[in-house]
Each structure stands twice: as structure tokens, then as C-alpha cells.
Amino acid sequence: MKNTTLCYIEKDDAYLMLHRVKKVNDENHDKWIGVGGKFEAGESPEDCLLREVREETGLSLTNYRYRGLVTFVSDEWGTEYMHLFTATGFEGEMKTCDEGELVWVPKSEIENLNIWEGDKIFFRLLVKSDKFFSLKLTYRGDSLVGAEVREY
């Protein structure tokens, strides 16, 4: 099982999205996702979030919120616990990302992108409620076959 973070940085009713087109053997190849990555030894979710955002974007977060825990169960990629954050404050200059293209995408256009079916569920949760949530998504290959959500 792996632990990861994912962050959706907000500005002017848009999210900073990463179009994953540069890495080989990437389970997210050609998908649009937020920024984040795998935990390193000894990191908390917040430590991983801040490091990954800085590494991928060049930005330092100044205002962020832990929104939910997403458990991915996959017959191809194993189990992943993704710690989901949103951020509204940041400083620094955005850099070129070595994992793909960074683009500010209006929130109203997110569901038109090539995103995972399960991501559509947590985007709706981010919009409709301020409650912390736990979301379990089960995939067979690229197909979403189950989703369970709990809000706290």
C-alpha cells in the first residue's frame, strides 16, 4: 500500500491541473490530475504535500486545507491512500513540471477533461460540502466498479 498526497490549488475559480504526459509507465498517463506524489520516509501528509507542490510547481503553499482521504483499490496498481488537499494561498514563481503540463483550468470545465471517473466524485464532494470525507474507489483496470463515501 502506498500513501500519496494530491492538491488542487485554486485561483480565480480555476484549479491548477497537471496533464500527465511526460513519465513512462505512469498509471496516470494522459490524465489530468492535481499536484502531489508519494510520501517519503518520516513525512506527514502535510510534509509530503508541501514538498511535492514545491517540487512539481515551484510554488510554496501558504493556505491549504486537508479535505479528505481517498482509498483506491485496483486490480492493477494495488491499494493507495491518497490524502486530498485544496489550497487557496501560495507564493513563488511557477516552473515547468517534469511530469507534464501545468494549466489553470476553470472549475466548470474540469469534468470535460480526461480525468478518472472516481475523481469526478471527489470534485463534487469538494464543491458541495466543507465536511471532511473518506471515499473508497474500486477499479478494475481503468473502470470504476465501486464507490463508497462517508462525510464527517
pLDDT reported for residue 151: 95
How high is the pLDDT of residue 30? Answer: 84
Q: 98 near 119, Cβ under 8 Å?
A: no
Give the pLDDT score at 143: 95
Domain architecture of the chain: domains with CATH: 2-151 (3.90.79.10)
pTM exceeds 0.95 for this model = no
Quick one: how far is CA 46 from the chain centroid?
14
Distance CA 103, CA 41 (A): 30
Q: In tens digits, what is the pLDDT along the chain, a chain of 152 residues?
A: 899 999 999 999 999 999 988 777 777 878 999 999 999 999 999 999 999 999 999 999 999 999 999 999 999 888 999 999 999 999 999 999 999 999 999 999 999 999 999 999 999 999 899 999 999 999 999 899 999 999 99
| pLDDT at residue 24, as a whole number | 72
Closest CA to 137 of 150, 126, 128: 150
Is the separation of the CB atoms in 72 and 64 below 8 Å?
no
How many residues make up the chain in this entry?
152
CA–CA distance, 139 with 111 (Å, rounded to integer):
19
Give the count of beta carbons closer than 10 Å to the beta carbon of residue 108: 9
Q: How far apart are CA 8 and CA 124, in angstroms?
A: 13
Residue 70 has a pLDDT of: 98
